[in-house]
Amino acid sequence: MSSTLLLIQLLNGIQLGVLLFLIAAGLTLVFGVMGFINLAHGVQYMIGAYLTVWFYGMTGHFGAALLLALLAALALALFLEFAVFRHLYDRDHLDQVLATFGVILFLNQAVKVIWGPTPLVISPPEFLAGTFRLTENLNYSIWRIAIIMIGFTVAGLLWFLVTKTRIGMLVRAGATNAGMVGALGVNIRRLFMIVFGFGAMLAGFAGSIAAPIYSVEPGMGDGLLITAFVVIVIGGIGSIRGTFIAALLVGLVDTLGRSTITDILKLFLEPSAANQIGPALASMAIYILMAAVLFFRPEGLFPAQGRRA
Amino acid sequence: KDTLKVGMIVTLSGPPGALGNQARDGFQLALEEMGGKLGGMETEFILEDDELKADVAQSKARSLVEREEVDFVVGTIFSNMLAAIYKPVIQSGAFLISPNAGPSTFAGKNCHENFFVTSYQNNQNFEVLGKIATDKEYRKVFMLAPNYQAGKDAMAGFKQNYKGEIADEIFTPLGHKDFSAEIARIADAEADALFIFMPGGMGVRFVKQFRASGLADKMAFLSAFTVDETTLPAQKDDAVGMNGATNWAPDLDNEQTAAFTAAFEEKYGYIPGGYAMQAYDSAKLIDSAVTKAGGVGDKDAVRAALEAADFTSLRGDFSFNNNHYPVQDFYLLEVVKRDDGKYHTSIVEKVFDDYADSYADACKL
Amino acid sequence: MSVLLATHGLCKSFGALTVTDDVSLELRTGECHALIGPNGAGKTSFVNQLSGLLAPDSGRIEFLGQDITNSSPAARANAGLARTFQITSIIPTMTLFENVALAAQARCGSSYRFFRPVHKDRQINALAGEALERIALTSRNDKLARTLSHGEKRALELAMAIAQKPRALLLDEPMAGIGSDESGQLTDTLLMLKQDYPLLLIEHDMDAVFKVADRVSVLVYGRIIASGTPDEIRANREARTAYLGDET
Amino acid sequence: MRAAAPALVAFMFLAAMPLLAEFWGGSYVTGLIMRAMILAIAALSLDLLIGTCGLVSFGHAAFLGIGAYTAGIAITEGTTDLATILGITIGISVLFALVTGAISLRTHGVTFIMITLAFGQMLFFTFSALSEYGGDDGLTLWERAYAYGLFEFEHGLFYTIFGLLVAIWLLLDRLRQSRFGRVLLAAKENSTRMETLGYGVFGYRLTAYVIAGVIAGIAGALTANEAEFVSPALSAWQRSGDLIIVVVLGGVGRRSGPVLGALAFVVLEEGLSSLTHDWRLIFGPLLIFIVLFAKGGLASLFERRQA
Amino acid sequence: MTLLTVENLHAGYSSAQILFGVGFTVAEGEVVTLLGRNGMGKTTTVRAILGLTPPSAGSVRFAGQDVMGWPPHTIARLGIGLVPEGRQIFPTLTVEENLIATSNRRLNDRWTLPAIYRFFPRLQERRSFSGAQLSGGEQQMLAIGRALMTNPRLLILDEATEGLAPLVRAEIWERLAALKAEGEAIIVIDKNLDALTSLADRHIMLAKGRVVWTGNSEELKQDSSVIDRYLHV
Ligand SMILES: Nc1ncnc2c1ncn2[C@@H]1O[C@H](COP(=O)(O)OP(=O)(O)OP(=O)(O)O)[C@@H](O)[C@H]1O
Ligand SMILES: Nc1ncnc2c1ncn2[C@@H]1O[C@H](COP(=O)(O)OP(=O)(O)OP(=O)(O)O)[C@@H](O)[C@H]1O
Ligand SMILES: [Mg+2]
Ligand SMILES: [Mg+2]
């Protein structure tokens, strides 16, 4: 493999990692910090993407579409919080699983009914739409570089928010003992609502910026949700730093795994056998990574301090 | 018995639902044109969604044959769904007509007298592409397909007629999102042509990313099920000029196709693709058979009439092989933009005349 | 009097913090050995090492002549070493009686029995009933443990340990949370218990300690700074400045 | 007894099902009910993990796949004897459960969920790579296993599945109230305390995990025989997710829960999807509604009414 | 001036009613104890005042407001600081975060981080430990510190000296006396009768969810039959 190829794979891996981070960050906030399992988080990613496409169609301006989509995604999240989720905070995790699964079913279907089953596509904003020449044969998209930079910025901000501000502390406190936070004079419900909306908005944001690279289609968030769970578990639930590192790790392992495992197998296996086993192994790579990490560090790479059970 | 019951099982849910929608619309158009009657009999049409889940498909199939007691089941779009419904439908004695899926599994040893395919044997499109690659003297081809059974068949099918050098063959996961890694390898390999099979949303994403990479201008693009009427509304300009190969295109030069395409667009507002065409033909096939057999009372008569395939196919030339898979012509296609801004595939040239599949010998029918 | 439980040069640190510093301590038959010391001195950590929840960095633990330093918590419990927890540790969703029965069950043969309903098991019920009798619990037996008042939970904690029919009992602040008057009762119970098996008692309630204990060791910063009879400790200057103050 | 009543009523109803079906949809309905019963068996085994042990396995469908593929491959290769097939299924299930259990039971909570998911996915991709046995397309079985003539009777398969369901329900119900069950239930709440009471929790959990795996494996073998078709999708994470949904829908850890959950899941899905292709627009909110207004799942509805 | 008025309070849990008409008052700057044997309803009374266990009947007035039916956090923000039974510190937060997270200086700012650390030097030593890593006694100090950091007008201590070493306990009684001198109102639940009698102005004896006796320390000492009857078995 040439060095440019390797460089491209690295960039791709990081870019995938960044997207995963944006989704996983919201998940780790809502689940790891607040203690609420929200399977509908992946749907929020999808909604972000659809809304962006929709508003783009109306305004013809990517920036405006992004902004409107974020606001709309936030509004939807707050509505869901109000109508469904807030009644489930002090329930069993499994109740949350069932209810949010219901939300997934509904929204996936609703999106299909509204926008149809065909994948939709959209272009990035004009000034970032171009490509730059990487090798004689290959151009690389500026938008992807932009995604990487956006992701790193958001990661920094989030880390500060969760670990350095009182809001972060209160949310973490509320996750273990909401009653006590209330008894000490803090409106934990409202706080949860804000965090929830924020997390959902992050997922929507990920959907918005992913829309120009991937296609927008019903159910696009389901698989990513599982990967996002893999990320937060590897990173250590509730840790923003861990999530960020794990997201990059998963992004890289997935990307590099796909491009190298089959080749490596071909070194000592029949090509046909390698073609048989390689892709299967590449699909398993992130799961193997997760199983290995959890085997040696059951709490993940960066367990949030003092977290029990 | 004076009404005919036809059940259809296609995928309507999720992104692959676009394919099922075409099949549904194609069949219903035919039915409507014939005044709601097939073979002169008042026809009850029952539509089911397999949701691309084997157990759902099977349950729907059983509901059709056991509860509704339909005479014909038309389905499915995907091979794995066909595998799931095959046995219950066949066992019930109803006729199973596949408007799209044509797996090798049921073409050879496991063929059945009551099973008919109006599309093609799955490998054929790929074999056609292999022939094209050889004809055009591409020396080095890069191959890309998703890692599932149809993807593996695609690779094998292409290689059957292509004897040049293979730069590399890559399997991506099903539903793959980001092809940039693969595209980087394609760029690195410096091949003459790309052979690709990426159905549905994967194709949409790939074409877009491939176009952005600048590679589209540097190498030939030979595809199956990657740029077609279900994906073009999303791919738009990015796909223009890209090649595919199959048994039909909406601008095939014959009367019935011109009429069909116009009527279809008029009614549903989009351009029909192969899925719609094959479903339309399936309806016509049933119509011809029921007419000829004078009802569905005599199964053997109906079967013989089906085998005769006495109807005007949109493809023109059409007949069944001994295994009930079609013998038909195949074409090289290219994506074009129409004056009204819509996109469709267009016939470039005929590659095969009366092409039959390679499994028929093993079928004892 | 023979030595039942002994540690030899036990050490444990959490990073830079040494919580057990070369502790050698013995528990003999028939005695109550009290371990007192300021908050955070390492008493609970010491008991955790004895019961196997925490692995010592170095040193040895012997019980009934066997080296149990590396045994699992369950193995130690089965050998007869029972304990209570300072921070109440019960099964909240089971009833008071079921909690005690669970402790008794561990003493009544294998629990790999899959078919007979356990609530009809006479042997277990008898043993649990016996343990409950020794601890006066005002609440009804079928009350869910979760709904007990704090003091009742503390008493339940002790009843469970007794139902284990231990050879030695490690008590981490049994008096905590027990009402002022019930404390007196509990002191009597402890006096009775120590006739059946030796007690290692951790307690901040000095009335109880001086009444029940035969021997007292003072733990400060993980180290035993004094050890002796209650009277000796009461008179010990170091113990007074580090822990007791003017009390007693 | 109260809590078991809904299950017992359901069993009586199921026993009469082949008769009722005569007037009411025929073999299609019995087929549907057979699938519901197999789902109930799988759900019962998962509830042993979730409800009794507090271990949420997100890879339980792996065992369905094991059972189904064992049956599928055996029959394809010409071994049709039911006892042999079940024997192999049980053997492989035990082995797989021991290996994956020994690793995943070192963890708890979400980590356990995810690590079981990982094992499930590994198996899923393995099945998908079995090109000789259909790969992703799945494998059609051209005959059923030979059950000494049992399956040849009218409704023979139905009553075999029914009998297994009732037997497994009874066994697991007893297990829950036994010494063993009591230990598991308590360890779910407070495993540290159980350790200090003298219970090696790991061993108890591993045993339960193996039992659950074997039962799910049997359900898988039944699926293969009922559907005469197996596919890797049987062991995909979506299927494991469905199983969790069924358990929660019915009521976690409730005696009638898994049975009610499975029946409701199948019947609702079937009923709604025959109303409209967009049936999820109804089913989704219905699930939410059940969570919000029936704490403790469907089983709790009945319990409350009786109380 | 009365700060807290509790009248005819009825409360309980879904399984059973626990309080049957509890009533008492706490004046500004007054120290009041709740006495009674285990399970008599002391903790439930405190929870009912704060709305944690919503009362079914009766009234609670605090600082001139009728707070019946208010959510706990709004009641607490009027100036009630709770040291709950069983500590209930936040295990995943560090010591310092535990103190800061819910701190409040709206009413006054007597209690700041340095002040707490002066009060409990031990906490300063452990400032970056997570709550779960603390010893039982250290957790108790943290729970007290956390309540003080809300700078309450009324401090409620539910068995706050449980698990504390005698020296620390003695110090806490001293500091409470000092707080009282500064005009802080306090409700104490504790088993240390001696310390309570020297600290408190008034004692309220609960039995089976009812107030069965009230009086000052003098009366309590003299009336030993009260102790016999309600505290002894
Ligand atoms: N969550 C609950 N659900 C049901 N009953 C409860 C609950 N909490 C406490 N109780 C019951 O209420 C009664 C009073 O409990 P409370 O905690 O108020 O007692 P207390 O006076 O504080 O006792 P202690 O001194 O032991 O702390 C007890 O009988 C207890 O069992
Ligand atoms: N897991 C841990 N990690 C780090 N430090 C710990 C851990 N567990 C305990 N410590 C520290 O070790 C010291 C000793 O704790 P331990 O619980 O043994 O004290 P103790 O003597 O029981 O005190 P108390 O009387 O307050 O219960 C404490 O300062 C505590 O903060
Ligand atoms: Mg301690
Ligand atoms: Mg109390």
pLDDT digits (tens, 9 = 90+) for C88-109: 899 999 999 999 999 999 988 8
Q: Around D125, how many Cα atoms within 13 Å sit in the side-chain half-sphere?
A: 21
Contact B181 A117 (CB under 8 A): no
Task: Collect all residues of chain E within an 8 Å Cβ-Cβ radius of residue C137.
Answer: none
Task: Collect all residues of chain A within an 8 Å Cβ-Cβ radius of residue D109.
Answer: 309
- Chains in contact with D, where contact requires at least 3 CB pairs less than 8 Å apart: A, B, C
Q: Which of A58, A53, A56, A48 is nearest to A23 (CA)?
A: A48
What's chain C's Rg over C-alpha atoms? 18
Pocket probe for ligand 2: among E87, E128, E133, E142, the residue whose CB has the most ligand atoms within 8 Å is: E133
- State in Å: Cα C144 to ligand 1 middle: 11
* pLDDT mean across residues, chain D: 90
**A192 contacts chain E (CB < 8 A):** no
Backbone φ and ψ for D23, nearest 5 degrees, come out as: -95, 5
**Does E13 contact ligand 1 (Cβ within 6 A)?**
yes
The ligand with the least distance to the CA atom of C36 is: 2
Return the top range by mean pLDDT from A259-273, C42-56, D8-22, D289-303: C42-56
Which residues are bridge partners to D12 per DSSP? none
Class of domain C1-80+166-248: alpha beta
Query: Residues E96, E60: contact at Cβ < 8 Å?
Result: no
* E226's tokens: 């009260």
Contact E167 C243 (CB under 8 A): yes
> Average of pLDDT values for B81-102?
92
Q: Is A258 among the domain residues?
A: no
**D131 contacts chain A (CB < 8 A):** yes
Residue C50 has pLDDT above 90, yes or no: yes
Round to whole Å and give the CA distance between E95 and E142: 7
Q: Which residue puts its alpha carbon closest to atom 18 of ligand 2?
A: C42
One DSSP character per residue, E117-133 reads: HHH-HHHHHTTTSBGGG
- Closest partner residue to D193 (CB to CB) among C91, C98, C107 is C91
- How many residues in chain D? 307
Return the top range by mean pLDDT from A48-52, D122-126, D235-239: A48-52
Task: Collect all residues of chain E within an 8 Å Cβ-Cβ radius of residue C204.
Answer: 137, 163-166, 169
Round to whole Å and give the CA distance between E31 and A101: 53
Question: E2-230 has which fold?
Answer: Rossmann fold (3.40.50)
> Average of pLDDT values for E97-111?
85
Q: In chain E, where do the E strands start and end?
A: 2-13, 16-27, 31-35, 57-62, 65-66, 80-83, 154-158, 185-189, 202-207, 210-216
pLDDT value, residue E60: 93
Contact B149 D137 (CB under 8 A): yes
Query: Residues A43, A103: contact at Cβ < 8 Å?
Result: yes
Domain boundaries, chain C: 1-80+166-248, 90-165
Pairing of strands C3-14, C17-28: antiparallel
Round to whole Å and give the CA distance between D226 and D34: 8
**D274 contacts chain B (CB < 8 A):** yes
Least confident piece of the model among A101-110, A172-181, B274-283:
A172-181
**Cα angle at D137 between B326 and B281, to 5 degrees?**
25
Contact A95 D278 (CB under 8 A): no
Contact B83 D137 (CB under 8 A): yes
Residue E81 has pLDDT above 60, yes or no: yes
Q: Which residue puts its alpha carbon closest to atom 13 of ligand 1?
A: E39
D49 alpha-carbon distance from chain centroid: 11
**D137 contacts chain B (CB < 8 A):** yes
The count of other CB atoms within 10 Å of the CB of residue C170 is 25
Instruction: Provide the pLDDT confidence category of residue B2 given band limits of 50, 70 and 90.
Output: confident
Q: Which residues of E touch A (CB under 8 A)?
A: 50, 52, 71-74, 76-77, 80-82, 84, 88, 90-94, 97-98, 100-102, 104, 130-133, 146-147, 150
Closest ligand 2 atom to residue C38 Cα is 25
Round to whole Å and give the CA distance between B55 and D38: 13
Residue D24 has pLDDT above 80, yes or no: no
pLDDT value, residue A54: 94
pLDDT value, residue A174: 83
pLDDT value, residue E231: 67
Residue of E nearest to A189 (CA): E73
* B288's tokens: 């011809």
The pLDDT tens digits for B237-265 are 999 999 999 999 999 999 999 999 999 99
pLDDT value, residue A239: 83
**C179 contacts chain E (CB < 8 A):** yes
Sign of CA dihedral E106, E109, E112, E116: negative
The pLDDT tens digits for B151-166 are 888 998 999 899 899 9
Closest Cα of chain D to B324: distance in Å? 20
Inspect the structure and tell me whether chains A and C have 3 or more CB pairs less than 8 Å apart. no
Pairing of strands A131-133, A139-141: antiparallel
* B220's tokens: 């030939």
Residue D306 has pLDDT above 50, yes or no: no
> Average of pLDDT values for C192-215?
91
Contact B15 A280 (CB under 8 A): no
Residue B347 has pLDDT above 50, yes or no: yes
> Average of pLDDT values for A143-165?
87
How does A215-228 read in b/e, with b if 16+ C-beta sit within 10 Å? bbbbbbbbebbbbb
Residue C234 has pLDDT above 90, yes or no: no
**A217 contacts chain B (CB < 8 A):** yes
Q: How far is CA A273 from CA A1, B157, B166, in A?
A: 21, 18, 17
Amino acid at C2: S
Instruction: Provide the pLDDT confidence category of residue D161 given band limits of 50, 70 and 90.
Output: very high
Q: Helix or strand or coil: residue E59? A: strand
E99 alpha-carbon distance from chain centroid: 17
Percent of chain E past pLDDT 90, that is, above it, reads 41
Query: Residues E156, E91: contact at Cβ < 8 Å?
Result: no
Round to whole Å and give the CA distance between A163 and A165: 6
Size of interface A-B (CB pairs under 8 A): 118
Q: Is A143 among the domain residues?
A: yes
- Show the domain range for A56: 7-216
Contact D197 C117 (CB under 8 A): no
The pLDDT tens digits for A219-266 are 888 888 889 989 998 998 878 889 999 999 999 999 888 878 888 888
Q: Which residue has the tokens 């009777």?
A: D153
Identify the residue among C139, C150, C241 best suited for mutation to test binding to E, counting E beta carbons within 10 A and taking the highest: C150
What secondary structure letter does DSSP report for A121? Answer: -
Q: Around C198, how many Cα atoms within 13 Å sit in the side-chain half-sphere?
A: 21
Query: Residues D226, D75: contact at Cβ < 8 Å?
Result: no
Q: Helix or strand or coil: residue A93? A: helix
Round to whole Å and give the CA distance between B75 and B46: 12
Q: Which of D139, D142, D102, D138 is nearest to D119 (CA)?
A: D102
Round to whole Å and give the CA distance between B52 and A182: 48
Residue B193, phi-psi category: left (phi > 0), alpha (psi -120 to 50), beta (remainder): beta
**B177 contacts chain D (CB < 8 A):** no
Pairing of strands E2-13, E16-27: antiparallel
Return the top range by mean pLDDT from C174-188, D145-159, E30-44: E30-44
> Average of pLDDT values for B208-221?
88
Query: Residues B31, B79: contact at Cβ < 8 Å?
Result: no
Task: Collect all residues of chain E within an 8 Å Cβ-Cβ radius of residue A307.
Answer: 91-92
Q: How far is CA A134 from CA A7, A138, A140, B216, C136, in A?
A: 10, 6, 6, 16, 81
Which residues are bridge partners to A120 per DSSP? A216
Round to whole Å and give the CA distance between A235 and A286: 13
Between positions 286 and 315 of B, the ones with CB within 8 A of A are none
Residue B189 has pLDDT above 90, yes or no: no
* pLDDT mean across residues, chain A: 86
Round to whole Å and give the CA distance between C86 and C157: 9
Q: Which residue has the tokens 């491209």?
A: A8
Q: Helix or strand or coil: residue E80? A: strand
Q: What is the CATH number of domain D5-306?
A: 1.10.3470
- What kind and span of H or E run contains B340? none
Task: Collect all residues of chain A within an 8 Å Cβ-Cβ radius of residue E71.
Answer: 182, 187
Pairing of strands B41-49, B3-10: parallel
pLDDT value, residue A50: 95
* C194's tokens: 């120590």
The ligand with the least distance to the CA atom of E34 is: 1
Q: Is A226 among the domain residues?
A: no
Q: Helix or strand or coil: residue E185? A: strand
Long-range contact list for D22-26, CB < 8 A, 24+ apart? D25/B66, D25/B67, D26/B66, D26/B67
> Average of pLDDT values for A30-35?
78
Least confident piece of the model among A160-169, B141-150, B208-217, C69-78:
A160-169
Domain boundaries, chain D: 5-306
Size of interface A-E (CB pairs under 8 A): 85
Number of domains within chain A: 1
Q: Which of D130, D69, D77, D72 is nearest to D96 (CA)?
A: D69
Q: Which of A26, A11, A28 is nearest to A251 (CA)?
A: A11
The count of other CB atoms within 10 Å of the CB of residue B333 is 28
Closest Cα of chain B to A199: distance in Å? 23
Sign of CA dihedral D9, D11, D16, D22: positive
Contact D186 C85 (CB under 8 A): no
Closest Cα of chain E to A117: distance in Å? 45
Instruction: Provide the pLDDT confidence category of residue A309 given band limits of 50, 70 and 90.
Output: very low
- State in Å: Cα C243 to ligand 1 middle: 32
* pLDDT mean across residues, chain E: 88
Contact C149 E37 (CB under 8 A): no
- What kind and span of H or E run contains D82? helix D82-104
One DSSP character per residue, chain C reads: --EEEEEEEEEEEETTEEEEEEEEEEEETT-EEEEE-STTSSHHHHHHHHHTSS--SEEEEEETTEE-TT--HHHHHHHTEEE--SS----TTSBHHHHHHHHHHTTSS-S---SSBGGG-HHHHHHHHHHHHHS---S-TTSBGGGS-HHHHHHHHHHHHHHT--SEEEEE-TTTT--HHHHHHHHHHHHHHHHHS-EEEE-S-HHHHHHH-SEEEEEETTEEEEEE-HHHHHH-HHHIIIIITT--
Q: Which residue puts its alpha carbon closest to atom 22 of ligand 1?
A: E43
